[in-house]
Amino acid sequence: MIIESKDSKSKSKGRSRSRPSSPPRSRSSKLTPPSATLVDGEVVTEPEGSSAITSLFENLQISQQDSSSSNPRIFPYNVKQQCWEKAEKVKGRDPDRWRRDAVGNIVFRKLVGCPGCLCHDYDHILPYSKGGKSTLENCQVLQATVNRSKGNRTELSKADLIQKSSYCRVSGRDMDLIELSAYGNVRHADDNAGGCRIQ
């Protein structure tokens, strides 16, 4: 608790604190940016504001690309979904969460692009740099470390890729714990295999 005397209050009233302040703003001094509209592929600006600002839009060009001829380097979302669906299922596990990659490694759906043994990438079978398209036919789920070591080489055999795999032994309980931490629950495939389930 702080107790102040009458003298300290009267002294503090006489003092004023100096704060650095910004200059006062007036609403009329604001510059309003010009509005621009796209009409038939050309930028049309309205003559509000200064001419220096509108001159920024004069050399603006908008290019139109033919979407059928473009080939994105990254797989579209729907291709990734279908690529995951075509990967081999892991027996007794939810196929929406667990799959085997092209060389047999178990991968977890939520772990994408990281260097761990359960992480995966969506790989171009024929590398993009060698003309491979970002289509379902050219997509495979591949453990991320295998994909990084594969690079843009096409001469590697399945045995070579298996040697480059990041091996880890994951038990069913480990997989349950990973699912629980990522999704908040554990789901198993309906294999009628019996066994215990965490509820």
Type of residue at 70 = S
Nearest to 117 by CA among 43, 170, 168: 168
Residue 199 to residue 194: CA distance in whole angstroms: 15
pTM for the structure as a whole: 0.61
pLDDT surpasses 60 at 173: yes
Residues of the chain with pLDDT > 70, as a percent, come to 61
Reading the block at residue 162, the tokens are 């298996």
Q: Which uninterrupted H or E stretch holds 182?
A: helix 172-183
Name which residue leads in pLDDT, 132 or 31: 132
Mean pLDDT, residues 79-100 taken together? 95
Q: State the pLDDT at residue 43.
A: 55
Query: How far does Cα 135 stand from its chain's mean position?
Result: 19
Name which residue leads in pLDDT, 58 or 121: 121
pLDDT tens digits, one per residue of 35-66: 555 555 555 555 555 566 666 666 666 655 54
Q: State the pLDDT at residue 190.
A: 74
Q: State the pLDDT at residue 73.
A: 86
β-pair partners for 45: 36
Lowest mean pLDDT among 21-35, 78-92, 95-109: 21-35
What is the overall mean pLDDT for the chain?
77
User: pLDDT category, 168, cuts 50, 70, 90?
Assistant: confident
CB 147 within 8 A of CB 121: yes
Query: What pairing do the DSSP bridges indicate for beta strands 88-89 and 98-100?
Result: antiparallel
pLDDT surpasses 90 at 4: no
Lowest mean pLDDT among 96-105, 111-120, 148-157, 187-196: 187-196
pLDDT surpasses 80 at 116: yes
Q: State the pLDDT at residue 86.
A: 96
Q: State the pLDDT at residue 72.
A: 84
Nearest to 189 by CA among 104, 125, 99, 120: 99
CB 115 within 8 A of CB 143: no
